[in-house]
Structure 1
Amino acid sequence: MNKYFIVLLVLLHPFALFSQTNNLTGSPYSLFGLGVQSNSNIGKNSGIGNGGIALETNNQINNYNPASFSAIPDKTFLLDIGFLGELSKISNTDNDELRLVANFSNLAFAFSVNNRSGLGVSIVPFTDVGYSLIGIKSNVEGSQDQFTSNILGSGGLSDLRLNYGYQLYDNFSVGLRTSFLFGSINETENIRIGDAFLNIDEENYYNGFRFGLGFQYKINPKYSLGFTIDLPTSLNSSQDRLVDKSLDFINTEVEDQKGLNIPDFKLPLEIGFGLASKPFKGITLSADYKTNLWSFTDQRDDIGKFVNQSIISIGAQYRARERGLKYWQNIEFRAGINYDSGYLEVNNEVIDNYSFTAGLGLPINRKGTSTLNISFATGQKGAVEGILIQEKFNLINVNLSLKDIWFKKLKFN
């Protein structure tokens, strides 16, 4: 069935139901393209508005700029394990629906190579897919008969990333990153016409490499700048398709094909700028601007077109003491905002979103270097307008960020 027709029915039909999934998202907007961009983050970045291009990697991993890994203290090992939970409310002109999803979100580690360079490896979600369109009723063409469709989508792509940062000068660092993007997106459609059933199962596979680089420059002890660029790439794509029908309780295979050619998916040139400052003792501020040049990819979707995307994030963190004697003095308090102009235009409306974030970094060792990071974000995507729907979301990111020292010699008096 034509995807555009399906979406029109889903967004306008008062009895369409968006149910729960066990993926990292339940957004109906994950129906488009490769899914929605992941809300998962490493370390403290979720609490400061999902930014940090100009921030260093010292006690916690910062995946936003490969140059940041040059700041890992010598003989230091960092580990981060993440969990993500999402509660969303989906609204159209007729209905409101609640959905809950939760899952592990990331695994990352980093270590110093020497006193001027560091290396990091991470695997995080790149895109997430998780939608359920239940009970869509439509008329059979040229007839008064009706059929009912249930459409389920799941999967997404993962980003296996290698970051390397090197300090060229005392105040200037460069970094390189290589990502291997891979994963699959499954869509299953079950159609019922009277006592007959038709099942269509499509599994799309994607994989490819992407390369990027970054810079960080310390203007002075209070101010630093960051820059990143991710090069455009094309992901290799293929499809497995299985179709069977059931009539009078007899199943018949209609089609079973593997490795079908489908158009490769093009990812855009992405450019980011960041500023970080420490205007007062214990306070760190950050601001990022990122643009994704989708219009140059000529990438298309059945329901809409891809447009250039801008993302702005602003964050702040407060810690009373660098190494306080009291527990509360080592707690990090965070807050931030994020605005994403969106990259998909549907019916002449661009699907944008914004969020407000808050978080805590709770020390789990005496020095306050290993931290339990908890962040909360609330925001909105889309609007109840035309065929669009509004998604209000609440996110919880929990990251266990550990720091240890390698090859430290014990000294005895």
Structure 2
Amino acid sequence: MIAAFRSRSRAQQILICLIGAGLLPLIVLEGRNAPYVAVAAATVVTGALALLALFAPERWFWQCVLVAAAASCALTVVQTQLPQRPENTPGMVELCVLLLVITRTVRRCRPLKAIALSAAVSCAAVLLFLRIEAWDDTLYLLISFVIVCAVPCAVVLGLALRLRDTMRTREIEDVRQSQRLEYARELHDFVAHHVTAIVAQTKAARFTADAGHAQSPEDLDRMLAQIEQAGAQALGSMRAMVSVLRDPGAPAATRPAGDLGGLHTLVEKFAVAGPPATLALDPRVTDRPVPPEVATTVYSVVQESLTNARKHAAGATRVEVRVEPHPDVPDRIEVTVTDDGRRRPDEEGRSVAHGGEDDAASGGRATGGGYGLVGLGERVEGIGGRISAGERPGGGWRVHALLPLDTLTTH
């Protein structure tokens, strides 16, 4: 509890202390109305427990609520058996705090837990009036008021605050998503600027050395310091971008999503629920180091192509995935995904390929009304590659991507 209190902001700590300092004396004054010292002390304790439940941290909240409700009900039951009871107040401060606890419960807890806790606290709030001496029409009127007006108002207030929190969370998430998209477009430019400086300075050092010019220790130290500074700036830019792009609520992946070894699993899972699929992964690709961004892009191309084949390849009997070096340009990878699915007419009666929204690409770039190949095209072009998608001459659909094995040479 103390650690949770210390974790709050200074303004929250001051507010809690002020509210506690203002309500605790009122709880003590109401407790003095009890004819017995023990009952007065118990009244102060139940009021303090209700106040504690109202400001309890999230992880202890439901336990504190149950303890406060149980203690309040137990004191009410005990007082109904006593020959003397308070004449004027059953504990109105405690009642108000319990109603606020209901509001917080509805606002913060999950539906089933909120229903259970609200029912327990509502029962304690309704029974609270049984502590007073006079059992007359006024007592029943107060109980009816709590049941009909006070408790429903507390629930409605909690629902309204819950709705506001939900809308605010969605609004914040929309803003974060737009920021992620913006940073995703700028990430390449930011990092490429610093990495290009590193490459340029390294090439200058190598050129000077190849020319036979001896460099002084001061010049060499200055050049290495510039390279170190550019590398630190690139690392800082990547960390800043990743901290924004990463979803804090999602668990971190234990392996890169674009690991080429994962293509076998991806194709096998596709073949279980879709048409038979084969993978031809050239050893010349797997035996050499592949940059992470290239491996991730290869995986994304295959994944998106298989997804489109499952959605649109009507009557396909086979899907073939090939990942191999380009025969004429060894430093580039060819990724080809083909199927023999039939063409189908669209809603306007014209004949289109099963690619549907992700229609054929032109000019070496996937374009069309859909976002799958469009976004994939932007990703491929971001590392200096090209992608195209369209109908095969013999029928079916073909996605072809040409990616560089060394991304540094493409920027």
TM-score range, shorter chain: under 0.3
TM-score by length of 2: 0.19
Structure 1 or 2: more helix by fraction: 2
Larger relative contact order (CA 8 Å, sep ≥ 6): 1
- Larger Rg belongs to: 2
